[in-house]
Homo-oligomer: A and B are copies of this chain.
């Protein structure tokens, strides 16, 4: 997939939206420790997104938007991410665990300069809000 597309392109993809449950609380409790752990988790997440042919379109703070060529690839990537993160959390006190919620939606997106736009992105973000910490919410036909 091209990383930069100057023209507006419409395509059907699996949109992946992730954020950290209770991120503000975690940052309020221990900013340095949270950012250090978040960096480790993001490294695992980014590797596993790429491994399943995904592309990260936007990321800011604790949130990541990515696109995958198929819902199967997106779900497999999300399961692998939650498994690795779950193992990493196993040794931590509950209130220090970094648990991502992941939403996946299959829909049309508009792509410009590598960024994703459109209703499909909003649906993925709302699904993510309904996912359990450490869980995945998926909408597909």
Contact = CB atoms under 8 A, between A and B. Distances in A.
Contacts of A132: 139-141
Main secondary structure of the interface of A (DSSP, over half): mixed
Interface in A113-141: 123, 126-127, 130-132, 134-141
A109 to B, nearest CB: 15
A62 to B, nearest CB: 19
Name the residue among A105, A126, A135, A138 with the largest chain B CB count within 10 angstroms: A138
A32 to B, nearest CB: 29
Nearest to A131: B139
A56 B24 CA distance: 39
Contact of A130 (B82, B126, B134, B135): B126
Given A130-B130, A137-B140, 20 more contacts: A82-B141, A123-B130, A126-B130, A127-B127, A127-B130, A127-B137, A127-B139, A130-B139, A131-B139, A132-B139, A132-B140, A132-B141, A135-B141, A136-B139, A136-B141, A137-B137, A137-B138, A137-B139, A138-B138, A138-B139
